Chains A and B, each alone.
Chain A
Amino acid sequence: MSMRIGLLAGTVLALVLHAPAEGQNEVWGAEGRVDFSEFRIANVVPRGQPLIPVFEGWFNNPDGTRTASWGYFNLNTEELFHVPLGPDNFVEPAEFDGMQPTYFLPAPDDRGRRRRHESVFAVTVPGDYQGQVTWTLRVRGLTIESPSSFGSEAYEMLNIESATSSPVSPLMRVADSPVGRGRVGPVAGPVTVAVGESLPLELWLDLLDRERTIVDWYHHQGPGEVTFAQQESVVDATGEVELQTLATFSEPGEYMLRVTALENPSALVQHCCWTNGYLYVTVTP
C-alpha cells in the first residue's frame, strides 16, 4: 500500500456541511483503516480542509526518459500553506526531491475558475527506471502520499503537442535560461535581490501561431510572501514576445518562482499543452 494517511489527534475541524453517506472516505492508511470523514473531502470551504498532492500523469520523452507531473488541490478558499522542503514535504526517491512547491495558494472562491493547481512541477526519470516516484505532504496532521502511476494508460499524457483545442506548448526562456517548453520547461537562476527591492523578471516566449496566451507568475517555493507587479498578463500576439514584470520579497531566504504560459484553461482540463518555467531567487536581508 503506497498511500498512507495518518491522523494526529485534535487536528481536524468538523465541518457542518452536507453529511456524506456511510462508508465515505474510509482510507487504508499506514496504521490500517482510518476515519477520514471528518474532512468532508469533497467540500471546498474557507478554512480547515486538507491540502491534497495530486498526481496528474506521465509522459514519454523523445530521449527515452519519462516524466511524471504533480499538481495540488488546496481545499480551502482562504487558507494558504507554507510547507518547507523536508520531513513534511518531500519527493522519494530523494534524487528526485526539490522541485515541488512549498507555497500553496488557496482555491479560488469563484467556482467559475479552475480551483485546482495542475501540473506545478515534474520529475524526469531514466528510461530504465522501474519504480514509482512519490510526493508526500504532511499538513494538518494528515500525511498524504501521491505516487506516480508510470505505465498506467489512463494517466498517460502529452507534453508538447496534441490534437486538443490548445495544441502546442510555447517556447520559453526565463532570464538567462536555455529555451525550454512543456511541463518541465526552462529553469534559471539563482539571481539575488534584497528584501523589499524589486527584482526584474524577464521572459521571452515564442507563441508560434497561438492567438492568445495567458502568462502567470507564481510564488512556488520560499518562506515569505512574493508580490508581483503584474501577476497575470494576457498576450494577444503570435510569434516571439518579450515580457517584463517585477517581484518583491517580504523575507530573506531561498525562493523559486514559477511562470506558466497557457493558451486557455481548457489545456489544463485536457492535460496539454502549455509551458512551465522556473526561476531560483536568493533573497538577502
Chain B
Amino acid sequence: MNRHARFSLLLGLSALVAVAVFGFSPEKLSAQSAGDVTFAADVAPILQASCQECHNPEGVGPMSLLTYEEVRPWAPMIREKVSTREMPPWHVDKNVGIQQFKNDVSLSDGEIEKIVQWVDSGAPLGNPADLPPPLEWPSGEDWRLESLLGRPPDLIVPSTSFDVVANGLDQWHTPVVEIEGLDGPRWVLANETKPSYPLGRRVTHHANSSVLRVVDGEEQRAGFSNFGIGKPYDIYPLNTGMMVQPGDQLSWNIHYYPIGQEVIGEVAEVGLWFYPEDEPPQFATAGDQSFGSYRSDDQEMVIPPNSRQITQGIHVLQQNARIHSFRVHEHLIGTGQSLEAVYPDGRVEILGKAGWHPSWHITYLYEDHVAPLLPKGTVLIITAWYDNTENNPWNPDPNTWVVHGRRTGDEMSHMWIGISYFDDGQFEYLVAERERVLEELGIATAGEEDGG
C-alpha cells in the first residue's frame, strides 16, 4: 500500500472511530439544537476560510466540504481533526517563536470551540439565510496565483516528460531545461509549480527547481521553486525578487511515487510572474536555501533502532540577511525542527518551530513586518528531532538503523529557508523601514521592550 493509500485509509478509519466514539447518527445530525452555534452562521465561514481550499471537488482533500449536505456526514471526524489540531494542516508550535504568517490556516481556539459545540449539539444547519455566499475555487488545472495576482503566468517553463510506472518504488526525474522566452533579464516576483491534473498531482511527491547560471565559467545555482502537498507557490517579499536572464537553465528535482495507475508523459510546469520591466524590485532574493541540521564536517545521520535523537546544525551568516520563510524537510523518522538565531549582541530568538508530517510540505511565510532581519555574524541554529521508536506512527521498522538517503525509508534533515542578503546600506534601510512600520502598527521593537 503506498503512502497515499495509507493516508486515505487512515482518514477513513478515523471517521469510523469518530462515529463509534461519539455515537453519531443521522437523526442526531438533523436535529435542531437549542444551542446558538449553527452551520450556516458559524461553521460555514470557518470552512470557507480554512478548509475549502483543499476540500473542494478538485482539491487535494479527500472529500468536498462546500455544502451542509457534504459536511454533515463528516461532522464527527471534523470535530476530532480540528480539536486535535491535525486539521487544517499547520504544524507551527504555537507556544514558541514568531506566530505571524501570511499563509496561516490554523484555527483559533474560539473557532475550534465553535466547531466542537456545533458537533456536540447535533450539527444543526441553522437558518439557510445565514449561509455565506459560496466561494469559487480554482480547478486543479488552474494556476492558483492567477486569482491572487490577477493574471496568468508571464512565462511557463515545463520539465521534460516522465513516465511514472503503475507499481514500484519511488522514482526521481532530474532534467535540466533551458528557460526559453526571455528577451532580457526579468525579475520574478512569484512562481508556482503545477504538475498535470489530476494524475500528475497524485504521483508527485515534490517538484523543486533551481536556477542554473554560468558566471565566468563557474556554475551558480539558486533555489527557485518548490512544490509539495500544501506548498504550490512562492511570493517574494515586497520589493524583492529573483532575476532570471537569457541563457539560464532550470534544474528540476522531481520525486514521483507510483499510485497503482500508469501516468505516461507527466510534465510539471513552473509559472513565473514578473515585476514590470521598468519597475524592478529594490532587493534580490537568494530564494530557498538548504540549511542542514547537522554540523557540517563531522556529523552524519545515524539513528539507532528504538531510540530518539536530536541534532543541530550551526550556520554563521556572513552577510546581513532577511528570512522570509522556512520549511521543514524530513522523511519518516523526523518529527520536527526549530530555527533559532543568536544575534551578534548575544540575544537569542526562536524564529520558528514546527512539527513534521510526511504528507505535508508546508512553507511558513512570515508576515513582512516580522520577517527576521539578521545582521551578519548572526548564528542560525537548526535543531531536528527524530523518533525511531514504535511510538512514531510513520516508522516503517523501529528495529532498523536509519541513515541518510533520498529514499523515503532513509532519512533527510534540512530546513529550506527563504532568504535574501543585503549590504550594510541596504540593511540599515530595511531596519529603519521595519522600525517605521512597527511604529505605525503600534508594536514595540525589541530594544524598546528591553528599555534600550
**Residues of chain A at the chain B interface (Cβ within 8 Å):** 1-3, 5, 17-18, 20-21, 23-28, 36, 41-45, 52-55, 57, 73, 75, 107, 111, 115-116, 146-147, 149, 152-158, 162-165, 269-271
Contact = CB atoms under 8 A, between A and B. Distances in A.
Given A155-B400, A269-B405, A17 B298 contact: yes
- Rank and list the top 3 A-B pairs by shortest CB-CB distance, nearest first: A154-B409, A154-B396, A21-B310
B285 to A, nearest CB: 28
Main secondary structure of the interface of A (DSSP, over half): loop
Contacts of B297: 111
18 contacts: A1-B306, A1-B399, A25-B307, A25-B309, A36-B307, A41-B304, A43-B300, A44-B298, A73-B302, A75-B300, A75-B302, A111-B296, A147-B399, A147-B400, A154-B408, A163-B173, A269-B405, A269-B406
B126 to A, nearest CB: 46
Contacts, number: 121
A54, A154, A155, A271, most chain B CB atoms within 10 A: A154
Main secondary structure of the interface of B (DSSP, over half): loop
Interface in B345-380: none
Contact of A28 (B169, B295, B299, B306): B306
Interface of B: 1-2, 162, 165, 168-169, 171-174, 294-312, 332, 396-397, 399-401, 403-409
B312 to A, nearest CB: 7
A147 to B, nearest CB: 5
Contact of B409 (A107, A111, A152): A152
A57 B305 contact: no
A163 B401 contact: no
A260 B332 CA distance: 30
Contacts of A162: 169, 171
Given A55-B400, A154-B397, A73 B300 contact: yes
A149 B308 contact: no
B305 A27 contact: yes
Contacts of B301: 42
Nearest to A36: B304
B300 A115 contact: yes
Contact of A27 (B162, B168, B307, B405): B307
Contacts of A27: 304-307
B397 A149 contact: yes
Given A18-B295, A154-B396, A164 B300 contact: no
Nearest to A42: B299
Nearest to A41: B302
B442 to A, nearest CB: 38
Contact of B306 (A3, A20, A45, A155): A3
Given A111-B297, A154-B408, A26 B308 contact: yes
Contact of A42 (B1, B162, B309, B332): B309
A20 B310 contact: yes
Contacts of B304: 3, 5, 25, 27, 36, 41
Given A54-B401, A270-B172, A155 B409 contact: yes
B307 A42 contact: no
A16 B16 CA distance: 52
Given A152-B409, A158-B169, 12 more contacts: A1-B306, A3-B306, A42-B301, A43-B298, A57-B407, A116-B404, A147-B399, A149-B397, A152-B396, A163-B162, A269-B405, A270-B172
Contacts of A271: 405, 407
A140 to B, nearest CB: 15
B92 to A, nearest CB: 21
B397 A165 contact: no
Nearest to B3: A153
B311 to A, nearest CB: 6
A146 B402 CA distance: 11
Contacts of B406: 269-270
A52 B400 CA distance: 11
Contacts of B409: 57, 152, 154-155
Given A155-B409, A270-B172, A44 B312 contact: no
A52 B307 CA distance: 15
A3 B403 contact: no
B400 A153 contact: no
A21 B308 CA distance: 10
A163 B161 CA distance: 13
A23 B308 contact: yes
A41, A45, A55, A156, most chain B CB atoms within 10 A: A41
Contacts of B305: 3, 27
Contacts of B307: 24-27, 36
B3 to A, nearest CB: 9
A204 B309 CA distance: 45
B308 to A, nearest CB: 5
A5 B305 CA distance: 10
A75 B299 CA distance: 9
A41 B388 CA distance: 14
Contact of A44 (B173, B300, B396): B300
Given A24-B309, A149-B397, A154 B332 contact: yes
A158 B168 CA distance: 9
A1 B399 CA distance: 7
A270 B407 contact: yes
B385 to A, nearest CB: 9
Contacts of B295: 18
Nearest to A163: B171
A23 B174 CA distance: 39
A153 B170 CA distance: 10
A157 to B, nearest CB: 7
Nearest to A5: B304
A42 B397 contact: no
B316 to A, nearest CB: 15
A245 to B, nearest CB: 30
A54 B303 CA distance: 11
Contacts of A24: 307-310
Contacts of A157: 169, 407
B404 to A, nearest CB: 8
A55 B396 CA distance: 13
A158 B169 CA distance: 8
